[in-house]
Amino acid sequence: MRHLIVRILLFAMPGLALLAPCGCRQTAPQVLFYQPEGTRQIVYATQPERLHITVYPRPEAAARGAVIFIHGGGWQAGGSALPIYSDWHYPLQEAGLRAFSIEHRTAPRYRGQQLLDDCLTAIRTIHQRAAEFGFPADEIALVGYSSGGHLAVLSALELSRAHSIPIKSVVAYYAPLDPANLVYYKDNRLMELFRNYVPEINDDDPRLDSGQRGLNPMDRFIQSLRYYAPIEKIHPAMPPMLLIHGKDDNLVPFSQSVNFAMQADRIVPGRVQLRLIEKADHNFIRSRGRWARLIDQEALLFLLQHMSK
């Protein structure tokens, strides 16, 4: 079936647009966990587990910045290699961007803040070693997929709130950003993943005020979801973000990205852009259709637009 990419403004809001998939032409077969010559892994943490950063080869010309990827997998997938890096390698090389992919501890053994802390530590490690890796330390962008998109957005919100590392921009593909809104969603697969990811809370949790003590189990779960919900942490200093989501996503409803974009627009208008792709399911980026590569190209253009010249 023939598709075209179309941009249509949604709700007359700045930064909200609709993308429809694309042409029927196919791109090269995907090489999962592609590691071009010169790829290496470094250890950034040893306790309580040994965690790695995959360092992809530097571009031939001087790097103008770095892109840090966080893979998906329901917070339960280990390893640092990015499964779909083959689609990004040559475009990043041509754009003069250094690429990294990070590992975090996995649910259900580890939960909530522990996974976020791993991402923050990995990002700080890359930032601190920027001179060694050959890119400007203040030119870092994040890209995350699904649960990795959730962690990428949370990481950027945390770092920008603390004004510690200047994250230039974030691209999040089909990320769950408003999980408390999905508690009664008809498909409970995502909630099962969240039950394995968010920690349980009890009445002595210091984050609870007096009116929240004595909550029933479901209300406690909802409160825990809110603690790790990016939509609850939006603030005026957040970096520019591009949210990409398929309208036929059968795992993470596209309303997750819409809700986040609308809330961000209330707080800091124009800071978040939304791309909705017609007839695209969860993990659509693994498609070999040329339309999927065009979406990646738009994501790369967004990253470049927010790098310093």
pLDDT over 50 at 228, yes or no = yes
Residue-level pLDDT at 2: 32
Residue-level pLDDT at 131: 97
* pLDDT per position as a tens digit, 237-247: 999 999 999 99
Residue-level pLDDT at 9: 34
In angstroms, the CA 192 to CA 182 distance is 11
108 or 204: which carries more pLDDT confidence?
108
Q: How confident is the model at residue 18 (pLDDT cuts 50, 70, 90)?
A: very low
For residues 298-308, average pLDDT: 96
Q: How far is CA 143 from CA 33, 148, 208, 299, in A?
A: 16, 8, 32, 9
Set out the domains of the chain in order of their start, with CATH numbers.
8-305 (3.40.50.1820)
pLDDT over 90 at 212, yes or no = no
pLDDT over 50 at 294, yes or no = yes
In angstroms, the CA 283 to CA 173 distance is 8
Q: Rounded mean pLDDT of the chain?
A: 88
pLDDT over 90 at 149, yes or no = yes
Q: How confident is the model at residue 19 (pLDDT cuts 50, 70, 90)?
A: very low
56 or 290: which carries more pLDDT confidence?
56
Pairing of the two strands 272-277 and 16-19: parallel
Q: What percent of the chain has pLDDT over 70?
A: 85
Q: How confident is the model at residue 275 (pLDDT cuts 50, 70, 90)?
A: very high
Residue-level pLDDT at 288: 84
pTM of the model: 0.89
pLDDT over 50 at 12, yes or no = no
Using CB atoms within 10 A of its CB, is residue 57 exposed (0-12), middle (13-18) or buried (19+)?
middle
Residue-level pLDDT at 25: 57
pLDDT over 70 at 52, yes or no = yes
